[in-house]
Amino acid sequence: MITCFIRYHIDPAKKTAFEQYARNWGQAIPRCGADLIGYFAPHEGSSTLAYGVYTIQNLAAYEAYRARLAADPLGQENYAFAQSERFILREDRTFLKLASAPHAGKESSR
């Protein structure tokens, strides 16, 4: 299992638009095959950093998921919404795997 962390730099004057974008992904991402942990908008501290986080089985599954998301009507609408409203100034994506397991609250796999 890998976790995708998306770091967004957003226009702080368009935070409400980003929140709508996040709610839309909240429906489309799970439907297309990833396990959405959540989208996070600025609250305290930085007014320009936001995050999206989801897990997926592996990079091959990610490629298939991205194709489904690109073909999904709400996915297409959300991509267009972000382009037209220009609230995302930068988007960085990284894939990480859990390195601390087992840890408190999780059962050991040994």
Read off the pLDDT of residues 69-109 as tens digits, 9 standing for 90 and up. Answer: 999 999 999 999 999 999 999 999 999 999 987 877 655 44
- Domain containing 49: what range? 2-94
Whether residue 102 is contained in a domain is answered as no
* Residue at 41 is within a domain: yes
The CATH number of residue 50's host domain is 3.30.70.100
Residue 26 counted as domain residue? yes
Whether 78 is in a domain gets the answer yes
In a domain, residue 58? The reply is yes
Give pLDDT, residue 110. Answer: 47
How confident is the model at residue 101, as a pLDDT?
Answer: 79
Residue 43 domain flag: yes
pLDDT for the residue 107 = 55
Specify the number of domains making up the chain.
Answer: 1
Full-model pTM: 0.87
- What pLDDT does 20 receive? 98
Q: Dihedral of the CA atoms 106, 56, 39, 72 (nearest 10)? A: -150
Phi and psi at residue 88, to the nearest 5°: -95, 120
